[in-house]
Structure 1
Amino acid sequence: MKRVAIFIGSASDKDTMQPCSDVLGSLGIDHLYTITSAHRTPERTAQLVAELEEQGCDVFICAAGMAAHLAGVVASKTIKPVIGVPLNASPLQGMDALLATLQMPPGFPVGTVALDKPGAKNAAYMAAQILALHDAELADKLKAVRQGFKDSVEKAAAEM
């Protein structure tokens, strides 16, 4: 069962969002990583959401640039959590995507993280935290990851 779905709007977004898939994989979270577009393939997007929901998918992560409607379209098709990752894909340096992802009408929220690769990683961690609400083993993995972050700072401080 794919517990998380990562949707990217274009093949050009693959490298930027790869850290999201990497984090989920490192935590042992089964996920789907695919391309679907809010504008170019709206029927595919709706079909994927419906099929994945039926199969038990719990969280959707959507990354898009420019108009960045992918997360909002997915949020309109599910009551499962949707996490949006705005991507820098225009002369506006991602601000257009950030605002489009943030500005959702009441009742159709999209949890929005930072732009690009930092956002990709945090989207994965946020999805894991959502899943960990009912998965003690995953919660322990997340605690260990956080301890590793803490230990790396302590080590760097001691070496300085």
Structure 2
Amino acid sequence: MAKVGIVMGSDSDMPVMAKAADILDKLGIDYEMTIISAHREPDVFFEYAKSAEAKGFKVIIAGAGMAAHLPGMCAAIFPMPVIGIPMHTTSLGGRDSLYSIVQMPSGIPVATVAINGGANAGLLAAKILATSDEALLAKLKEYSKELKEQVQAKDARLQEVGYKNY
């Protein structure tokens, strides 16, 4: 059963949302990915958000651009955590999306990651799930160790070859 719902407003969001899915895949977390427009098909959206808990979702990752209502409306209906990913836009560089997602009214929180922050959304979902899953917590600790080792390897190369040859 999928523990995370990944929903996006358009297929143009796929490259960013795929980064969240990649993280969940790496950590062995089941998810379901869907494209739903909250504005163009509100009936489909409402059914998705209302049925998410019954499907077994514990977290929803919702990506949206421009008016970016998808994450906030998910949070208004789904009783568990929603993580919003603001999408970069050509007109306002994603600030429109960011403000739409982060400026939620009191009582309807949405955790918000950086503009195009798909990987961090996947990691945040995993960390939420790890609060009650020791095996997943161990995988997250291993992931952090790998990140540290990657930086150390880059520094070792820099020290070996110097910045001009890096």
What is aligned with 1:38? 38
Look up the equivalent residue of 2:128 and give its one-letter code.
Answer: I
Q: RMSD of the TM alignment (CA)?
A: 0.9
Shift of 1:13: 1.1
> How big is each residue's C-alpha offset from its partner over 1:80-104, in whole Å with a ceiling of 9 and x where there is no partner?
1000000012411100000000000
Give the TM-score taking structure 2 as reference length.
Answer: 0.92
Larger Rg: 2
Separation in structure 1 between the aligned mates of residue 151 and residue 107 of structure 2, nearest angstrom: 40
State percent identity of aligned pairs.
43
Shift of 1:46: 1.6
Q: How does 1:82-97 map to 2 (within 5 A)?
A: 82-97=82-97
1:158 aligns with 2:156: yes
1:140 aligns with 2:138: yes
Q: How does 1:1-160 map to 2 (within 5 A)?
A: 1-116=1-116, 119-160=117-158
Query: Secondary structure in 1 aligned to 2:64?
Result: strand
Separation in structure 2 between the aligned mates of residue 8 and residue 113 of structure 1, nearest angstrom: 15
Q: Name whichever of 124-133 and 35-44 sits farther off.
A: 35-44
Shift of 1:15: 1.8
Separation in structure 1 between the aligned mates of residue 79 and residue 114 of structure 2, nearest angstrom: 22
> How big is each residue's C-alpha offset from its partner over 1:20-69, in whole Å with a ceiling of 9 and x where there is no partner?
11111111100011101111112111211222211221000100000000
Separation in structure 1 between the aligned mates of residue 130 and residue 61 of structure 2, nearest angstrom: 16
Shift of 1:105: 0.3
Look up the equivalent residue of 2:7 and give its one-letter code.
Answer: F
Aligned length: 158
Look up the equivalent residue of 2:60 and give its one-letter code.
Answer: F
Shift of 1:109: 0.3
Q: Name whichever of 37-46 and 21-30 sits farther off.
A: 37-46
What is aligned with 2:163? none
Query: Secondary structure in 2 aligned to 1:134?
Result: coil
Asked whether the equivalents of residues 52 and 78 of structure 2 are also in contact (C-alpha less than 8 Å), the reply is no
Asked whether the equivalents of residues 65 and 90 of structure 1 are also in contact (C-alpha less than 8 Å), the reply is no
Query: Secondary structure in 2 aligned to 1:127?
Result: helix
Structure 1 unmatched runs, 5+: none
Give the TM-score taking structure 1 as reference length.
Answer: 0.96
Query: Secondary structure in 1 aligned to 2:53?
Result: helix
Query: Secondary structure in 2 aligned to 1:53?
Result: coil
